[in-house]
Amino acid sequence: MSRIAADSFAPARHTLPTVSHLMELQDHDLPRANTSASPTLGQLLKRVGDARKEATGDGNETPVHQVLDLTDTTLEPRPLPFVLSFSSLTYSVKVPRKMTFRALFPRRLNRLGAATEADPVSGERLFTSTKTLLNDISGEARDGEIMAVLGASGSGKSTLIDALANRIAKGSLKGTVTLNGEAFESRLLKVISAYVMQDDLLFPMLTVEETLMFSAEFRLPRTLSKSKKKMRVQALIDQLGLRNAAKTIIGDEGHRGVSGGERRRVSIGIDIIHDPIILFLDEPTSGLDSTSAFMVVKVLQRIAQSGSIVIMSVHQPSYRILGLLDHLIFLSRGQTVYSGSPTNLPQFFAEFGHPIPDSENRTEFALDLIRGLEGSPGGTKSLVEFNKSWQNMKKHDSSARNSSSETDRQCLSLKEAISASISRGKLVSGATNDVNPSSMVPRFANPMWTEMAVLAKRSMMNSRRMPELFGIRLGAVLVTGFILATMFWQLDNSPKGVQERLGFFAFAMSTTYYTCADALPVFLQERYIFMRETAYNAYRRSSYVFSHSLVSLPSLIFLSLAFAATTFWAVGLDGGFSGFLFYFLIILASFWAGNSFVTFLSGVVPHVMLGYTIVVAILAYFLLFSGFFINRDRIPSYWIWFHYISLVKYPYEAVLQNEFSDPTKCFVKGVQIFDNTPLGTVPTSLKLKLLESMSNTLGVQITSTTCLTTGSDLLQQQGITDLSKWNCLWITVAWGFFFRILFYFCLLLGSKNKRS
């Protein structure tokens, strides 16, 4: 059946001469005699490289060419090197029990169906019950085949896929999953497999081609040249039938982009770019029309036939799709009710006593029957039991005619199988020939600096496509700067002016932090993309942190410059050009620290609104403890630690020192001593007399020109004595680094991407 379907559907090849041409290869480099199957993409790409090395110029010079045929499904039989076996997979979760009278005084109830509930006997069990999501599931998936998991919604399809893809914590999942008889470690699985999630997580402003290209840059090794990566992307675009949408952006709610089916295929594309050996997909066809769904499964069949194990869940496959599937597992409430090839379905149900009528779609009939049984008093128990005996019978049959090829396959160790697969061109990720299977394939495809460069490029591309975001930030900074500049226009050096200066600095320095709050949604939006990408080692988490920091710098520099320039001269701050330069640097440092702080928070909090609440509250406390409202020596000793962790303290003290460092400047002169006191309103002549009598009493001559308070006196009064302005600057910068490091640890601990 699959052959008929395949023949009726042979799209890409003829319509795409350019790509085929691109992929032309030298004949003498293709030892077709030893290749029993059609070459995989990886293999061909590898040979392109070898061919290039030998040829003096471009590979196109050579007269004899082999065209990479992506649509070739006519494969010769060959030994199957990979077998993924799983046995007795059982997974339960604890769910809170409703406190009812019956729960407290249990009585045996007639429980039906597969979902078992533990008896509430004592302690923990009184408040929680156990729900079994997977119940003793066994099976086998081979390379070259598509194994499909079917079942009604909630039957446990996604859970089974998660269990096989090692996305359930070890302690919770019972049973074994082995690849060629060896329990595989998560590190190896990460490299040789791919998992396509049920939802599409893509950058909305990148085009299809760019999205795939970034994926290629992450997952294909550095040794593969850029042009080959491009070729791989072009080949994939054709393979996935995305040629017409290649230059369209992915889009989101606000921007019109590719269709849902195309987006689904892009999602698959980014995960299969490196030609994985095992491919897991959770409902790759849901939400697609039947043609798109068929096209997706067709692509998966091609991938399987190139030597991969494909395991997917599917809701209700159409008749045509069913023809492409090799092995089915029907689930009902976490139990297997059928496991076998689609062709055996009629026989199975006939023997069970419910023959499938000719006019009916087999899977629809099976699913309806299962649903009917689930609602009946006996549940699906009879079917589960029947399936077990049927499986045993089949096993018995096949062991009776045990073929030699079967035993050969069983003998192939994991290491041999991976080597064989790599030599066939699988895993386009610079594999080596090591003794240990897990070190045969490198953990990451690229060195750190490449990852950083690609991440930075992607994030800059994204920001360039959404210039309004930066525009809004700049607008916010300029408006704040303008309001401050006009409010505090040309402050003088009188005691009042000094007070206003202090107020200006406290406000300006805390504002820089508040404007950083916009960094909050940036990572929250990217978080799931980041988790998906790092779950399969597309790049290191540290690269992400570095590139994230680097990319934020240019905009921070620009914003600081804008803020410093609008306020420095307008307010009449001191220090000339060097004063401005320091003012700019300390604003930049605060932006940096604030940005890092908010980024760290975005790694901790799950929701934007919660994030904003926390940012606003913490920044308010930082300002409170900065030393502006209450001097350091007046802060209660049990709160003094907060003063030292206040991010506002350091830039605030730095700008004050920058402002009041000139020893020749005077801020309280002669009669100004009475300003801000009850005597401030008395006439000047009286003030002069008062000064005179004070001079006599104190024995120090104080005239109307005597300087009473210099800048350093002011700093002393404000309690700003512990750090120099440069130290304040360095500490602010260090805070920024500190929060980036915390962000890194957050990512390390918080993105396990596994069920508990």
Q: Which is nearer to Mg ion, 279 or 422 (CB)?
A: 279
* Cα radius of gyration rounded to whole Å, the chain: 35
What SS3 state is found at 105? Answer: coil
Task: Please check whether residue 666 is in contact with residue 493, taking contact to mean a CB–CB distance below 8 angstroms.
Answer: yes
The count of chain residues that interact with ligand ATP, using the rule CB under 6 A, is 12
Contact range with ligand ATP by CB under 6 A, out of 155-163, 249-257, 409-417, 504-512: 155-163
User: Which of 56, 122, 153, 432 contacts ligand ATP by CB under 6 A?
Assistant: 153
CB of 535 to ligand ATP, least distance (A): 18
Q: Which is nearer to ligand ATP, 137 or 422 (CB)?
A: 137
Cα 597 to Cα 513: distance, rounded to the nearest angstrom: 9
The amino acid at residue 339 is S
93 binds ligand ATP (CB under 6 A): yes
Q: How many CA atoms lie within 13 A of 87 on its CB side?
A: 7
Question: Token match 């942190």: residue?
Answer: 545
What SS3 state is found at 65? Answer: strand
CB of 367 to ligand ATP, least distance (A): 11
Query: What six digits make up the tokens of 508?
Result: 């300006």
User: Which of 155, 339, 515, 709 contacts ligand ATP by CB under 6 A?
Assistant: 155
In the beta sheet, which residues pair with residue 313? 149
Contact range with ligand ATP by CB under 6 A, out of 71-79, 151-159, 412-420, 500-508: 151-159
Burial readout 212-233 (b: 16 or more C-beta within 10 A, e: otherwise): bbbbbbbbbbeebeeebbebbb
Q: Which is nearer to ligand ATP, 528 or 642 (CB)?
A: 528
267 binds ligand ATP (CB under 6 A): no
Cα 23 to Cα 227: distance, rounded to the nearest angstrom: 11
Q: Which is nearer to ligand ATP, 46 or 333 (CB)?
A: 333
Task: Please check whether residue 245 is in contact with residue 208, taking contact to mean a CB–CB distance below 8 angstroms.
Answer: yes
Name the phi and psi angles at 338, rounded to 5.
-155, 140
CB of 323 to ligand ATP, least distance (A): 22
Task: Please name which of 182, 229, 232 lies closest in space to residue 70, comparing C-alpha atoms.
Answer: 232
Residue 153 binding result from Mg ion, ligand ATP, none, given CB thresholds of 5 to 8 Å by partner type: ligand ATP
User: Which of 131, 371, 465, 669 contacts ligand ATP by CB under 6 A?
Assistant: 131
Q: Which is nearer to Mg ion, 199 or 492 (CB)?
A: 199
CB of 149 to ligand ATP, least distance (A): 8
Residue 133 binding result from ligand ATP, Mg ion, none, given CB thresholds of 5 to 8 Å by partner type: ligand ATP
Which DSSP category does 704 fall into? T
Q: Which is nearer to Mg ion, 315 or 388 (CB)?
A: 315
133 binds ligand ATP (CB under 6 A): yes
Q: Which is nearer to ligand ATP, 59 or 156 (CB)?
A: 156
User: Which of 11, 49, 113, 154 contacts ligand ATP by CB under 6 A?
Assistant: 154
336 binds ligand ATP (CB under 6 A): no
287 binds ligand ATP (CB under 6 A): no
Cα 174 to Cα 425: distance, rounded to the nearest angstrom: 34
Q: Which secondary structure element, helix H or strand E, spans residue 66, and what is its range?
A: strand 65-66
Query: What six digits make up the tokens of 593?
Result: 């620290």
Residue 190 binding result from Mg ion, ligand ATP, none, given CB thresholds of 5 to 8 Å by partner type: none
Task: Please check whether residue 279 is in contact with residue 271, taking contact to mean a CB–CB distance below 8 angstroms.
Answer: yes
Q: Which is nearer to ligand ATP, 85 or 316 (CB)?
A: 316
Count the Cβ atoms, other than its own, within 10 Å of residue 480.
Answer: 19
Which of positions 381-420 make contact with ligand ATP (CB under 6 A)? none
Residue 409 binding result from ligand ATP, Mg ion, none, given CB thresholds of 5 to 8 Å by partner type: none
65-66/335-340 β-pairing: unpaired
Q: Crossing angle of helices 649-659/495-515, nearest 10°?
A: 140
CB of 449 to ligand ATP, least distance (A): 40
Count the Cβ atoms, other than its own, within 10 Å of residue 357.
Answer: 9
Contact range with ligand ATP by CB under 6 A, out of 80-88, 152-160, 337-345, 634-642: 152-160
CB of 286 to Mg ion, least distance (A): 9
CB of 157 to ligand ATP, least distance (A): 3
Cα 424 to Cα 675: distance, rounded to the nearest angstrom: 88
317 binds ligand ATP (CB under 6 A): no
Task: Please check whether residue 373 is in contact with residue 366, taking contact to mean a CB–CB distance below 8 angstroms.
Answer: no
Question: Token match 């006191």: residue?
Answer: 677
CB of 189 to Mg ion, least distance (A): 20
230 binds ligand ATP (CB under 6 A): no
Cα 134 to Cα 333: distance, rounded to the nearest angstrom: 8
Contact range with ligand ATP by CB under 6 A, out of 154-162, 293-301, 402-410, 469-477: 154-162
Contact range with ligand ATP by CB under 6 A, out of 150-158, 414-422, 672-680, 725-733: 150-158
Contact range with ligand ATP by CB under 6 A, out of 148-156, 458-466, 474-482, 641-649: 148-156
Contacts of 396 by beta carbon, 8 Å cutoff, 6+ apart:
none
CB of 618 to ligand ATP, least distance (A): 32
Q: Which is nearer to Mg ion, 158 or 602 (CB)?
A: 158
158 binds ligand ATP (CB under 6 A): yes
Cα 371 to Cα 316: distance, rounded to the nearest angstrom: 13
DSSP 355-366: PPPTTS-HHHHH
Contact footprint for Mg ion (CB under 5 A): 158
118 binds ligand ATP (CB under 6 A): no
Query: What six digits make up the tokens of 460?
Result: 């800059």
Task: Please check whether residue 40 is in contact with residue 25, taking contact to mean a CB–CB distance below 8 angstroms.
Answer: no
Cα 290 to Cα 288: distance, rounded to the nearest angstrom: 6
Residue 151 binding result from ligand ATP, Mg ion, none, given CB thresholds of 5 to 8 Å by partner type: ligand ATP
264 binds ligand ATP (CB under 6 A): no
CB of 158 to Mg ion, least distance (A): 3
Query: What six digits make up the tokens of 349?
Result: 């149900």
CB of 154 to ligand ATP, least distance (A): 3
User: Which of 46, 47, 157, 167 contacts ligand ATP by CB under 6 A?
Assistant: 157
Name the phi and psi angles at 332, rounded to 5.
-145, 120
Cα 262 to Cα 529: distance, rounded to the nearest angstrom: 18
Q: Which is nearer to ligand ATP, 83 or 115 (CB)?
A: 115
95 binds ligand ATP (CB under 6 A): yes
From residue 461, how far is each of 217, 222, 471 by CA, in Å? 15, 21, 16
Residue 510 binding result from Mg ion, ligand ATP, none, given CB thresholds of 5 to 8 Å by partner type: none
Cα 591 to Cα 580: distance, rounded to the nearest angstrom: 16
159 binds ligand ATP (CB under 6 A): yes
Distance, first Cα to last Cα, the chain: 41
CB of 532 to Mg ion, least distance (A): 16
156 binds ligand ATP (CB under 6 A): yes
Q: Which is nearer to Mg ion, 314 or 491 (CB)?
A: 314
Q: Which residues bind ligand ATP (CB under 6 A)?
A: 93, 95, 131, 133, 151, 153-159
